[in-house]
Amino acid sequence: MPELPEVETIARGLAKRVSGDVIDSVWLGQKPEPLKSSAQEIAAVLEHSLIATVRRMGKHIVFDLEDNSVGPARSGSTPIRAQWIVHLGMTGRLQICEAQSEVLKHTHAIVKLASGRELRFVDPRRFGRLSVARAAEFEAGGIEPLEADLDRFLVLFHGRKTPIKSALLNQKLLRGVGNIYADESLFRAGIRPRRRASTITRDQLAALLASVKEVLREAIALGGSSISDYVDADGEEGFFQLQHRVYGREGEPCLVCKTPIKRIVIAGRSSHYCPRCQK
């Protein structure tokens, strides 16, 4: 499940491979579900655009596009800028392959590149989303955790009665943290996932911010090496190997105190914690 570190890794891989390439044409599947913008709008924005850069915003992959349809640099003209935004959801993948490669099941979009390759969006569960933004810069919501300072972090939770776990997952507050990294961060900070956000002390929140950054940085470092080829061909090959300390370890001994890890459900999400280490 791609969260911030996976999306970061994927965006870097894409940037390396497709920056500078030009989109010749776009095919979009008949199922409209994965499209946030209309198919016509997406095609209109993408076709004949040059991919300037690819970057991550929260859990979104953003392709920065420049208008290439007028041909080589007319002097004095400013390139029209737009963005193609991809959210991978749970099972979405962006695949770079040769045009003759077999089209996998659940392929919802095929972008033909001037280099002869294709960029394909494959997503069995269809939680992923494709959209475009013109003129205005795509707005992703909350703050980037890796760029947050303590003051901006504290404000997010001020007066919130919701469990801290839910607040961490709220993309309008903090963008990019998903279920796995929320649990792992809370464990490292010694905070129970059900604690009401507003009841957590400044010191504890400082520890939490440090934990969030630490976990994300570790995962990016590890993920970078293990899924660097994720966007190629069939990709997948088992996500990052960040060793989870609580996530998915229900009933197993806490790595610190040996107490069995508990699993509870918060807002429909399974949440794992050590009842002894986390208060």
Partner DNA sequence: ACTATTTCCTGGATGC
Partner DNA sequence: TGCATCCAGGAAATAG
Name the site residues for DNA (rule: CB under 7 A): 1, 3, 33, 58-59, 87, 89-91, 105-106, 124-127, 159-163, 166, 169, 171, 178-180, 267-270
Please say which residue, 48 or 194, places its beta carbon nearer to DNA.
194
Please say which residue, 169 or 208, places its beta carbon nearer to DNA.
169
| DSSP β-bridge partners for residue 85 | 62, 131
Residue 59 is a catalytic residue: yes
Please report how close the Cβ of residue 102 comes to DNA at its closest, in angstroms. 16
Please say which residue, 91 or 101, places its beta carbon nearer to DNA.
91
Please report how close the Cβ of residue 264 comes to DNA at its closest, in angstroms. 11
Residue 269 is a catalytic residue: yes
- Catalytic residue from among 8, 17, 56, 59: 59
Please say which residue, 145 or 163, places its beta carbon nearer to DNA.
163
How crowded is residue 172: how many other Cβ atoms within 10 Å of its Cβ?
10
Please report how close the Cβ of residue 116 comes to DNA at its closest, in angstroms. 29
Please report how close the Cβ of residue 185 comes to DNA at its closest, in angstroms. 13
Residue 145 is a catalytic residue: no
Alpha-helical segments (H) within the chain: 4-18, 39-46, 150-157, 164-169, 179-189, 202-226
Contacts of 148-154 with CB under 8 Å at 24 or more apart are 148/174, 148/209, 150/205, 150/206, 150/209, 153/205, 153/208, 153/209, 154/202, 154/205
Residue 2 is a catalytic residue: yes
Whether 113 contacts 26, CB under 8 Å: no
